[in-house]
């Protein structure tokens, strides 16, 4: 017999971070597009307005990234547990999960992973979020800061190979984020209802389908 | 080849200037330069009456001759305390004079505020840096950066990469001029244009363009440029680009459309096709060598430090970026398609879609 249970998955600071971040990244992608292709795209009117907005959104994303990092490192102390794939995850977990997404999902089999506050992410999520949050996001913030202060940070710029190297990296990273967004949002609709994964990102509580009757609801 | 014609015209012009001024310098000049061409000449306190012979010889004014501008130099000069008159620039440069008189700067500075009549040069033979140094005599660069940064993002960078006259006169036909710069000793961020002597030592030749133009064809190919940029990294040098007008006007004004960044930043990749490298000459001027078309747009090592937002983006990079985005988009599309086809399976096993 299946029944539904409520699990408190996503604490308030993480939710605040996530939506600041999501809003920030989407703004960055669109303004960035205008900044690179001003002769084709003019969503925010004046070029200067797009630059100002891009810089502001960049600051918002950087600050909220700090919030996220501090929360997980200092307050919740669960960063490694949640985000670091275990050896098992790497050896079999990822493949099991990929097998689910690409095959058994279509056959109607259940998701092999169940979210609990201690193990929120399936192995594929862990690996992706790890790359995004520990490599791509810091890199895009770093290159962005350098590009915001080219003249004062010239020394560092030259050391890293010049403006074009940074612009190129920044641009390709932003493309990766855009690609990630499509996949991320889509995968988030694969819960037992299309909105099931969105709700905990909004109010913290996830509705879980549990097979046996053990009482976990708080 | 269009570049070739360009190069030829440029060089003919330059050599004509050089030879004309060397041969046809007005005969009276030497007499005056016997005294005024020596560093140790002393004039009235505070007046610089030394005239740099090398710089003067490079001007067209050397052909005009000292006495055309300072006529009636007395026999007893300099002992008789009679001060020779000075011609007004407007006498010979009527069109420029009239244009300048109408500009908002006419009341702020005379011609000699910006030009030393004994060191004038055509715009072709000056660097963008030289032009800004003219303005910096009266307009403190730091203050200018401060006042412009209230509305201009990264004003410091802009003023490093643009002569003031790009925004404050109707000057037109912009090209990218690159100069080789050396780091100032003891400084981290400050560079100055490498001197002729520095480059001659590097090139081990009198023709300093050999530092980049290895095959000496007076044309900088993309390959030569890339090579040079690779070498620069270890040498405390860089190649610095500025957007400089080829046609200089004296219509000083505050142009409204320069408020709007898209005047430069949305001009599209076509705008930045023409570029030159300016090599210093012994006489303080510059020779420009044409750079292969498209160098500015090269993905990385053509001009690693010159990038104009919105204008010099690289097409290959755009394509790679588009492929990444397309790969991301294809996942939801394909997966969603099969998800839709197999929706029944999940209905049967589960109770929701
Ligand atoms: C409009 C844009 C976005 C939407 C609609 C969205 C939606 C969601 C949803 C529904 C979840 C919960 C499901 C899950 O855990 O996978 C989630 C979690 C997450 N998202 Fe997003 N997202 C967006 C943008 C982003 C961006 C731009 C990033 C990173 C650069 C990001 C990083 C994450 C991370 C790391 C988690 C896990 C958070 C945690 O619980 O610690 N998201 N997102």
Task: Tell the residue nearest (CA) to atom 16 of ligand 1.
Answer: A188
Contact A108 B345 (CB under 8 A): yes
Which of A35, A104, A106, A157 best tests the B interface by mutation, with the highest count of B CBs <10 A? A106
Residue B103 lies in a domain: no
Domain check: are B129 and B156 in the same one? yes
Domain check: are B309 and B344 in the same one? no
CA B293 – CA B300 distance, rounded (Å):
15
Domain check: are B144 and B210 in the same one? yes
Nearest to B122 by CA among B61, B166, B208, B206: B61
For chain B (353 residues), the mean pLDDT of every run of 10, in chain order, is 45 46 68 92 85 92 93 86 90 95 95 95 91 95 95 93 93 90 85 93 91 92 92 85 92 87 78 86 91 86 88 92 98 95 79 42
User: Angle at CA B18, nearest 5°, toward B12 and B20?
Assistant: 95
Domain check: are B174 and B146 in the same one? yes
For residue B201, what pLDDT is reported? 92
The domain segmentation of chain A, as residue ranges, is: 3-217
Question: What's the pLDDT tens digit per position in B186-196?
Answer: 887 788 999 99
Residue B247's φ and ψ, nearest 5 degrees, are: -105, 115
Given a contact cutoff of 8 angstroms between Cβ atoms, the answer to whether B283 and B54 are in contact is yes
Domain check: are B147 and B271 in the same one? yes
Nearest to A132 by CA among A174, A166, A190: A174
Q: Which of B25, B60, B87 is the last residue of a domain?
A: B87
Domain check: are B188 and B283 in the same one? yes
- DSSP state, residue B209: G
Residue B96 lies in a domain: no
Judge: domain A3-217, CATH 3.40.1440.10. Answer: no
Tally C-beta pairs within 8 A across A and B. Answer: 136
- Among B265, B303, B342, the residue with its CB nearest the CB of A47 is B265
Residue B93 lies in a domain: no
For residue A215, what pLDDT is reported? 41
Q: What's the pTM value of the predicted model, to 2 decimals?
A: 0.89
For residue A109, what pLDDT is reported? 87
Nearest to A140 by CA among A180, A176, A168, A170: A170
Task: Tell the residue nearest (CA) to atom 20 of ligand 1.
Answer: A18
Which residues of chain B make contact with A106, given a CB cutoff of 8 A? 338-339, 341-342, 345
Ranges of residues in chain A with a pLDDT under 70 are 1-3, 209-218
Domain check: are B252 and B140 in the same one? yes
Domain check: are B324 and B298 in the same one? no
CA B74 – CA B225 distance, rounded (Å):
55
For residue B10, what pLDDT is reported? 46
Domain check: are B59 and B187 in the same one? no
Domain check: are B69 and B128 in the same one? no
Which of A175, A181, A183 best tests the B interface by mutation, with the highest count of B CBs <10 A? A175
Domain check: are B264 and B162 in the same one? yes
Given a contact cutoff of 8 angstroms between Cβ atoms, the answer to whether B11 and B3 are in contact is no
For residue A218, what pLDDT is reported? 36
Domain check: are B144 and B253 in the same one? yes
For residue B19, what pLDDT is reported? 45
For residue B268, what pLDDT is reported? 66
Domain count, chain B: 3
Contact B320 A172 (CB under 8 A): yes
**Domain housing B63:** 1-87
Q: What is the ipTM of this complex?
A: 0.91
A21 Cβ below 6 A of ligand 1: yes
Using the Cβ of B156 and the Cβ atoms of chain A, whether some distance falls under 8 Å is answered with: yes
For residue B352, what pLDDT is reported? 44
């Amino acid at each position: 017999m299946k029944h539904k249970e409520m699990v408190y998955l996503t604490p308030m600071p993480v939710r605040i971070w996530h939506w600041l971040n999501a809003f920030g990244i989407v703004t960055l992608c669109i303004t960035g597009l205008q900044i690179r292709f001003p002769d084709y795209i003019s969503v925010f009117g004046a070029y200067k307005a797009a630059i100002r907005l891009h810089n502001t959104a960049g600051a918002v994303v950087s600050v909220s990234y700090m919030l996220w990092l501090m929360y997980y490192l200092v307050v919740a102390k669960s960063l490694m547990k949640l985000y670091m794939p275990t050896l098992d995850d790497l050896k079999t977990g990822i493949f099991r999960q990929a097998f689910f997404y690409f095959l058994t999902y279509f056959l109607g089999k259940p998701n092999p992973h169940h979210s609990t506050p201690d193990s929120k992410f399936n192995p594929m999520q862990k690996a992706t979020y790890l790359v995004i949050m520990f490599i791509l996001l810091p890199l895009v913030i770093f290159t962005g800061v350098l590009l915001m202060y080219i003249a004062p940070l010239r020394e560092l710029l030259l050391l890293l190979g010049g403006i074009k190297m940074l612009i190129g990296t920044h641009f390709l990273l932003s493309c990766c984020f855009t690609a990630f967004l499509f996949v991320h949002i889509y995968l988030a609709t694969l819960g037992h209802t299309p909105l099931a994964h969105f709700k905990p990102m909004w109010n913290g509580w996830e509705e879980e389908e549990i097979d046996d009757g053990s009482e976990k609801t708080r | 080849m269009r570049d070739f014609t360009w190069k030829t015209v440029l060089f003919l012009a330059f050599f004509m200037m050089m030879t004309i001024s060397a041969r046809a310098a007005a005969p009276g000049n030497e007499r005056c330069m016997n005294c005024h061409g020596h560093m140790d000449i002393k004039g009235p306190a505070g007046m610089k009456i030394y005239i740099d012979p090398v710089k003067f010889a490079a001007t067209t004014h050397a052909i005009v001759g000292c006495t055309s501008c300072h006529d009636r130099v007395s026999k007893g000069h300099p002992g008789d305390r009679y001060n020779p008159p000075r011609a007004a620039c407007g006498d010979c440069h009527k069109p420029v004079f009239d244009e300048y008189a109408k500009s908002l700067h006419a009341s702020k500075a005379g011609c000699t505020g910006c030009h030393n009549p004994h060191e004038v040069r055509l715009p072709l033979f000056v660097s963008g840096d030289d032009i800004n140094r003219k303005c910096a005599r009266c307009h403190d660069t730091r203050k200018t950066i401060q006042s412009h940064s209230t509305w201009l993002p990264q004003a410091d960078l802009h003023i490093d990469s643009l002569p003031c006259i790009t925004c404050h006169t109707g000057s037109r036909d912009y090209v990218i001029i690159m100069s080789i710069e050396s780091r100032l000793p003891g400084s981290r961020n400050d560079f100055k244009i490498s001197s002729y002597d520095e480059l001659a030592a590097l090139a081990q030749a009198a023709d300093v363009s050999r530092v980049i133009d290895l095959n000496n064809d007076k044309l900088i190919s993309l390959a030569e440029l890339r090579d040079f940029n690779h070498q620069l990294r270890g040498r405390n040098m860089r190649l610095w680009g500025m957007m400089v007008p080829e046609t200089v006007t004296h219509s000083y004004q505050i142009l409204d459309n320069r408020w709007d960044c898209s005047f430069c930043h949305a001009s599209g990749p076509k705008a930045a096709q023409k570029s030159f490298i300016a090599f210093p000459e012994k006489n303080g001027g510059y020779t420009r060598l044409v750079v292969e078309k498209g160098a500015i747009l090269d993905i990385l090592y053509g001009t690693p430090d010159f990038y104009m937002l919105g204008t010099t983006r690289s097409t290959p990079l755009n394509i790679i970026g588009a492929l990444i985005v397309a790969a991301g988009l294809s996942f939801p599309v394909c997966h969603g398609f099969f998800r839709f086809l197999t929706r029944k399976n999940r209905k049967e096993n589960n109770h929701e879609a």
